[in-house]
Structure formats: structure tokens, C-alpha cells
Structure 1
Amino acid sequence: MSMMRRALLLAPLVSLPLLTGCVTATVDEMVFNEPVEGIGDASVVILGRRHASDYETEPDFIECVGDHISSRDNSIEVIDELDFINALYPWFEPRTAPLYPEDLEKLLQQPPVAQRLAELRTQYMIWIDGSTIRTDSAGSMTCGIGPGGAGCFGFGTWGNDSDYEATIWDFTNRAEVGRINASASGQSYMPAVVVPIPIIAPVQGTACDSVGDQLLQFLSSEY
């Protein structure tokens, strides 16, 4: 068989659409002092908790939540996590970052911190704590190369659970003003008859959208 003929046979396999598995999500919201008309010209920063030894809140999840908010209300200025940490080094490194709202008063007594926050116009800081983990897997798959070509046969499945908590701190009032819990779970599949076809459950993406939507209700004047 010619190389041209092989390319024509493989083309439909490469262009297979991405299939998605089912995801279930739950959201709990508790807001104490919700802005009435958005946050105006103030800015917000979203940070991931990384002080635990057994896991860290994924940087790509923090970026996803920030992008979700900015894309739906471009009047909200979301400061990049890394830019914020670098601008206030070393006060927001994992070992030195404030763990409780009561720590804000002491933190803002540091002139460099107060000055930099004023320059950034940061009113709200949102801590996100959590992670996405694989819960189980089953099945098997074998791949090989023979005289007729390469191929894979088998079936695999695995589950993922996402669990995140977003805590909203107000620098002006030196207090916690809201809290959101979002969880999602789903099952992904990988059947293979010659070519593996991933059917991925967008668990982390669903959790990101859930957290982002709830934060928009707090921050945006359009929701």
C-alpha cells in the first residue's frame, strides 16, 4: 500500500470529534456582604492555597477561574496570580501567606504591603483551596505492531473528583465576606478497536465554571 493510500485511510481517524463523559456538580454558596453594584475600578486577585504537604491547588485551575470571570465581564480587573505574588514578595509565598482574615490587619501594617496593594487597587483577594484527583481505574488495553499495521485493543475507565473552596477576603474591611464550595465528579472512558477513542469527563473544567459563575454573582454588576 502506498504512503498516499495510508494517509487517506488515516485521515478520518485523526479528525474524530472529542467525546466527553458525564459530569455531576454541586455548588454551595455563603455570602456575607455582597457588593450591590460590582467592584467598580478596584481589582481582584485569585490565589491558590499551597501550604498543605499532600497536595496543591493547581495553577491552571486558578488561571481558568480568572479567565472565566474576565471573559464574561471585562470590566473586572483580575490580577495574574504570579504577578501578584512577585509584586508582594515574600508576604504571599506558601510559607508566609496569611491563613486567616485576622492576619490581614497585621499584614497591612507593613508599609510596603499597604503601598503595593494601594497601587494595584486590590479590594478583594480570593483564596481557592482544593484539587482534582483520580479516584479509580479499571480495564486494560494492549497495543502492538504487526504485518498489517499498528493497533490497540481493549477498554479502560477511570474516575475523577474535583473539590474546591473559594474564600473571599475584603482588604477594606479586613474580613471574610463570602465562601463558595464547588465539587464535581465524572467517569472517563477509553475504548479501543485499532484506534483509542478517549471519552473524557471535563470534571475540573466543570468545577472551574461553577466557581467562576458564583464569583461573578458576587463581583459583577451585570449578574
Structure 2
Amino acid sequence: MTRYQFCRLCCLGTLLFLGGCVTATVDEMVFNEPTVSLGESTVVILGRRHASDYETEPDFIQCLAKHITSADDSVNVMPELVFMNALYPWFEPRTAPMRPSDLERLLQKEAVQLKLKDMKTEYMVWIDGNTVRTDSAGSMSCGIGPGGAGCFGFGTWSNDANYEATIWDFTDRQEVGRVSTSATGQSYMPAVVVPIPIIAPVQGTACDGLGDQLLEFFSINY
């Protein structure tokens, strides 16, 4: 066994014993009593993007939609981009309704009413939040020597995910539910010749937690 192969085995062994650690919490979901069943209607999940330097990640929105439809394929989730294109420009960042009162004014437009009726969209879910990197520590150096190239060191960092889902009912023109989730995780990157990232699935954990709660709401509305 060469020195390089031995170092690779050491890294793989570290990967087996170390894992990104994630802790998550989901706040209690509070709903108004639904007055309309979902039936064959569609649901749309949108990310908040109301500032130039802030947005809810599109891949998180896609994760939620996939989580819900994978668990219950009877829930018809419309792709975010399809909905926004169909209702352009009313759900662009600068024009999207931010409060139920804004929704009331928007739904007074006949063109909007007709579009929603045509798409059979009953509920809209606003997702507000993001995942950010916080604390980081450690160091790593890489170089090229007579024996080849390699890196040595150890790094660690934290990611925090915080998301809130607000459910709006297009028929009653009001907010009918709200739930939030948070997740924190510690990731590692040991390097002995080859850096091996051990990533804590913070965003994925938040997606699963929030998705389960939304699924519970939509499943009981059939």
C-alpha cells in the first residue's frame, strides 16, 4: 500500500465516524377552519423575493414541492415559475401581494380572477426565509511537493436555516395557516492529502420538517 492510498483510507475512515450534525424544530401549526376542500384544485408554493439582496432559495421551494407530491401524489403542486409566468407581472418581487389586504385588492382584477380560475388554484403558500453560513473555524493548507500535490488541515462551519410558511386561501381571500421551522447544523472538512467535506443537510432537514406540516394541512382538505 502506498502512502497516498493509506492517507485516502484514513480520510474514508474519518468520514464513516464523523457526520454533519443537525438539530431542527418545527413550531406548532395553527390553522383557521378550512371552508373549501382542495379536491382537484392546485396549490402553488412561492418564495419571498421582495428585496434585491434577499430571496428564499428556489431550490428550497422545489424541495418542498417534491416532498409534498412524493408523499401524496393527489396534492397537485403547480411549479413556481409556471404560476409566476401565467400571472405576470402581478407576482413579481416588486408587485407581489405581501399581506392579505393586498391579496384582496389584487383579486378585484378580473384578469387575475380568470387566471386563477383557469389554473384551479385554491391555495398559495408564501415561504419566507433562507439558509446562511454562520460560524467557521479551522485552517487548511495545500501544496505541491516531490511526492505530489495534497492538502492538510481541518475546517468546520455552521449553517442556520429559518423558514416560515404562510398559507393563503384564494376563495376566502385570507390567511388560513402559518408554520415555521428552524434547523442548525455543523459541517466538517478534514483533509489528509484530499479534502473530504462532511456536510450537514441543514436545508434538507428544514425542507422535510416544513413539508410534513404543509402535507398534513393539504391532506386533510380533501
TM-score after normalising by structure 2: 0.89
Residue aligning to 2:201? 202
1:20 Cα shift?
3.6
TM-score after normalising by structure 1: 0.89
The one-letter amino acid of 1:211's match is: L
Residue aligning to 1:83? 82
1:31 Cα shift?
2.4
Matches within 5 A, 1:126-165: 126-165=125-164
SS in 2 for 1:29: coil
1:62 Cα shift?
0.5
Distance in 1 between residues matched to 2:146 and 2:81, nearest whole Å: 52
Decide whether the 8 Å contact of 2:123 with 2:167 is kept in 1: yes
Matches within 5 A, 1:149-188: 149-188=148-187
Task: Give the direction of change, closer, same or farther, for the CA distance of 1:153–1:36 in structure 2 (3 Å limit).
Answer: farther
SS in 2 for 1:102: helix
| Gap regions ≥5 residues in structure 1 | none
Distance in 1 between residues matched to 2:37 and 2:145, nearest whole Å: 63
Deviations 1:93-150 (A, max 9, x none): 0000000012222111111110010011000000000010011111111111222122
1:23 Cα shift?
0.3
Decide whether the 8 Å contact of 1:34 with 1:218 is kept in 2: no
The one-letter amino acid of 2:61's match is: I
Distance in 2 between residues matched to 1:35 and 1:65, nearest whole Å: 21
CA RMSD of the aligned region, Å?
2.6
Distance in 1 between residues matched to 2:213 and 2:98, nearest whole Å: 22
1:53 Cα shift?
4.2
Distance in 2 between residues matched to 1:222 and 1:84, nearest whole Å: 21
Task: Give the direction of change, closer, same or farther, for the CA distance of 1:188–1:222 in structure 2 (3 Å limit).
Answer: farther
Decide whether the 8 Å contact of 1:37 with 1:221 is kept in 2: no
The one-letter amino acid of 2:142's match is: C
| Gap regions ≥5 residues in structure 2 | none
Decide whether the 8 Å contact of 1:35 with 1:219 is kept in 2: no
The one-letter amino acid of 2:159's match is: N
Distance in 1 between residues matched to 2:62 and 2:33, nearest whole Å: 23
1:32 Cα shift?
2.2
Decide whether the 8 Å contact of 1:50 with 1:56 is kept in 2: yes
Q: Percent identity?
A: 71
